[in-house]
Amino acid sequence: MIQKTNNYEIFSFLQNNRGIAKTRLQSMVKSINENGYFMSRPIIVTPAMQIIDGQSRFLALKQLNMEIPYCIETANPTKLMFTLNEIQSQWQFIDYIKAHAIAGSKFYKKVLEISEIKSLQASNALIIVAGTKIKGNIVKKGVELPINTEYDKIVNYLIQCSQYLPYWKNNTFVFAIVNLFKKTNEAQRKLILKKIPSLPQQITITDYMFVFENILNKYKKQDSLKIKL
**DSSP for 47-107?**
TT-EEEE-HHHHHHHHHTT--EEEEE--S-HHHHHHHHHHHSSPPPHHHHHHHHHHTT-HH
The per-residue pLDDT for 26 is 85
Looking at residue 221, its pLDDT comes to 65
Residue 90 has pLDDT above 70, yes or no: no
pLDDT score recorded for residue 88: 56
Calculate the average pLDDT of the chain: 86
Residue ranges of domains in the chain, CATH in brackets: 3-87 (3.90.1530), 94-225 (no CATH)
Note the pLDDT of residue 84.
63
Per residue in 43-53, pLDDT (tens digit) is 888 888 988 88
**Rounded mean pLDDT, 76-105:** 73
pLDDT at 149: 95
| Contact (Cβ atoms closer than 8 angstroms) between residue 229 and residue 213 | yes
Position 183 scores a pLDDT of 93
Report the pLDDT value the prediction gives residue 8, as an integer from 0 to 100: 93
Total residues found in the chain within this entry: 229
Answer whether residue 87 shows pLDDT above 70: no
| Residue, of 13 and 150, whose pLDDT is higher | 150
Count the helix, strand and coil residues of the chain and give each as a percent rounded to the nearest 5.
55, 5, 35
DSSP 8-state secondary structure symbol assigned to residue 217 = H
Residue 219 has pLDDT above 70, yes or no: no
Residue 16 CB contacts under 8 Å (≥ 6 apart), including other chains: 78, 81, 98, 99, 100, 102, 103
Q: What is the pLDDT of residue 127?
A: 95
Radius of gyration of the chain (CA): 24
Percent of the chain surpassing pLDDT 90: 43
Amino acid (one-letter) located at 60? A
Question: Would you state the pLDDT for residue 76?
Answer: 75
- Using CA atoms in the order 194, 199, 204, 208, what is the torsion angle rounded to 10 degrees? -30
Q: Does the pTM exceed 0.85?
A: no
Q: pLDDT digits over 156-194, tens only?
A: 999 999 999 999 999 999 999 999 999 999 999 999 999
Among residues 138, 133, 134, 211, which one has the least CA distance to residue 172?
A: 133
CA 183 from centroid of its chain's CA atoms: 27
Provide mean pLDDT across the span 59-85: 80
